[in-house]
Amino acid sequence: MKFLELPPRFFFFTGKGGVGKTSLSCATAMHLAGQGKQVLLVSTDPASNVGQVFGQAIGNTITRIHGVPGLSALEIDPQQAAQQYRERIVGPVRGTLPDDIVNGIEEQLSGACTTEIAAFDEFTALLTDSVLTADYDHIIFDTAPTGHTIRLLQLPGAWSDFLEAGKGDISCLGPLAGLDKQRAQYKAAVQALADARRTRLVLVARAQQATLREVARTHAELAGVGLSQQYLVINGVLPPEEAAHDPLAAAICAHERAALDAIPEVLKALPRDRVALKPFNLVGLDALRQLLVTTASQAPSTHAVPVALDAPSLSELVDDIAEDGRGLVMLMGKGGVGKTTLAAAIAVELAHRGLPVHLTTSDPAAHLTETLSGALDNLTVSRIDPHIETERYRQHVLATKGAQLDAQGRALLDEDLRSPCTEEIAVFQAFSHIIREAGKKFVVMDTAPTGHTLLLLDATGAYHREIARQMAGTGLHYITPMMQLQDPRQTKVLIVTLAETTPVLEAANLQADLRRAGIEPWAWIINNSIAAATPNSPLLRQRACHELREIDAVATRHARRYAVVPLLKEEPVGVDRLLELTARPSLITERA
């Protein structure tokens, strides 16, 4: 593998969700440890699953990996990091300042922005020559999906500029003196990221046109922040010999070949590796050891794979949604599971039935317009663009609060609104507006990958608590966005997953997080099921057999209502194909 040649100290694996960053980073860490190196594997993903891959608990402390001498791992827990960060700021003033001021500081530090700053604090410490990392020859970062990673890597420059200008206030950053102590650490982190002798960035993609376009954008954005030492890994490529007697495998191979033939120009010059699709789930040490080596195909499993599933179509799931005539339908889950496609399919089916529908996304990397590739009566499409929403919010505040200020006061307000945390407020406001719109029509929302969505829900919860505090004792009726999300008559949350071990575990963890917030998921959708597509390819049949246990786990342990959508020969792009998707057989049931 080219990306493993002359390995530098720091590796970054990044790319769109679901392309296999975690599997590749774990396999790379094992490979380097197997050469006698001391290796630290770090996950910066808010929805980390490194512990699930290795089959042991890891968490927010450096932990030795059983069975792999020389390898340790760390999962940066954003919530735990945020709590420690808040305590560093509030602890010294507790008992010194009045309680109401201390409580105010704690409330101001309860938002998602503080969570991201805290995780970033831990991240930068690992990029510098600290006591914590001095004993490691290699540090490998399994980063979050693309949009989150870009923001994380841009933060060093953003915070540097922010601190240099002396901007911000306690609601965003806490006491500036505390952050100012981190100035040298941030500068060293930026230098490490930009040094090609120390840092190698591995762009992970699948042989799919949309994924390769996303990687091309990531390449340009990362080069723009100084990460020029980039390698490209095309992961999960179906071996051509599998296409011999299977129309599904032949179609997959043809699509992958066409995608690679049309690879974006900016990616052609990058050193490139190709990793074959394996017939097994990449969980456990034995599976990971086989990922980066070429092995002969295993004999096909003798377990039966269902030839056909006698089950309702996805449109029957839409039947229950359509009965209410309006409401918010939110699709949530890990990146790469197909939320965008399924959100578009559900929205198109509802609109095709004559119902007014607003299809929107909060995912920075979503491609709704490309998926739709056309227009339809009763359907409007939008996107919550963080940059646009932030600028709109800034202009609104300047036009209202700023109208009463003198020139100096307006300039100070303008500086304050350039805080990185202004985006959090702006995106939350746009999200709240869309929730209100669901009282009149259907709003189908394709959400960002799990970690981003949970941060947005954190902001929603913080707003709810503040409104409840202000309204306590007034006797006035009020409804917050969080109350609407918790009302099953107004909101249906669909958790999207794949029939694989790690995605199902992550979906179950997401469901637990939602339930802690008082939100009960309405249904699960298992997308791109090979078992439901009844393949003939030996490799695909093996993967189909592995799926059956996961589908059963969803049916019997996790979901009250669920659907299985088969892997398709043709990519469901365009209104006509999306309508076909909702009419295809799928498996749906409801437990008592």
CA 377, chain centre distance (Å): 31
DSSP 69: T
465 CB-near residues (< 8 Å, 6+ apart) = none
Catalytic residue among 14, 15, 17, 22: 22
Determine whether 195 is exposed, middle or buried from the number of CB atoms within 10 Å of its CB (0-12, 13-18, 19+).
Answer: middle
**Strand order across the 230-237 sheet:** 63-64, 71-75, 39-43, 138-142, 10-14, 199-205, 230-237, 272-276
CA distance 421 to 423: 5
Catalytic (active site) residue 45: yes
Catalytic (active site) residue 20: yes
Catalytic (active site) residue 450: no
Amino acid at 338: G
Report if pTM > 0.85. Answer: no
Catalytic residue among 20, 70, 327, 335: 20
CA distance 249 to 232: 24
Three-class secondary structure of residue 48 per DSSP: coil
CA distance 451 to 453: 5
pLDDT at 191: 76
Catalytic residue among 15, 16, 17, 21: 21
pLDDT for 181-237, tens place per residue?
566 676 777 777 778 888 898 999 999 887 898 899 888 878 877 777 899 999 999
**Gyration radius (Cα) of the chain, Å:** 24
pLDDT higher than 90, residue 296: no
Catalytic residue among 15, 17, 18, 111: 18
Q: What spatial distance separates the first Cα and last Cα of the chain, rounded to whole Å?
A: 51
Q: Closest by alpha carbon to 84, among 133, 121, 123?
A: 121
Catalytic (active site) residue 301: no
* Cα angle 81-82-88, degrees, rounded to a multiple of 5: 90
Q: Once rounded to an integer, what is the mean pLDDT over residues 266-277? A: 94
Catalytic (active site) residue 104: no
DSSP 144: P
Share of the chain above pLDDT 70, in %: 77
Phi, psi for residue 64 in degrees, rounded to 5: -70, 140
Three-class secondary structure of residue 553 per DSSP: helix
Domains of the chain by range and CATH?
2-277 (3.40.50.300), 314-388+434-590 (3.40.50.300)
> Greater confidence, 98 or 298?
98
Q: Once rounded to an integer, what is the mean pLDDT over residues 384-391? A: 82
CA distance 343 to 326: 15
Catalytic (active site) residue 22: yes
pLDDT higher than 60, residue 451: no
Catalytic residue among 45, 77, 363, 446: 45
pLDDT higher than 60, residue 311: no
pLDDT at 144: 57
For residue 578, what are its two tokens?
A: 């999306």
Catalytic (active site) residue 273: no
CA distance 14 to 11: 10
pLDDT for 318-372, tens place per residue?
899 999 899 999 998 877 788 889 999 999 999 999 999 999 987 765 577 778 8
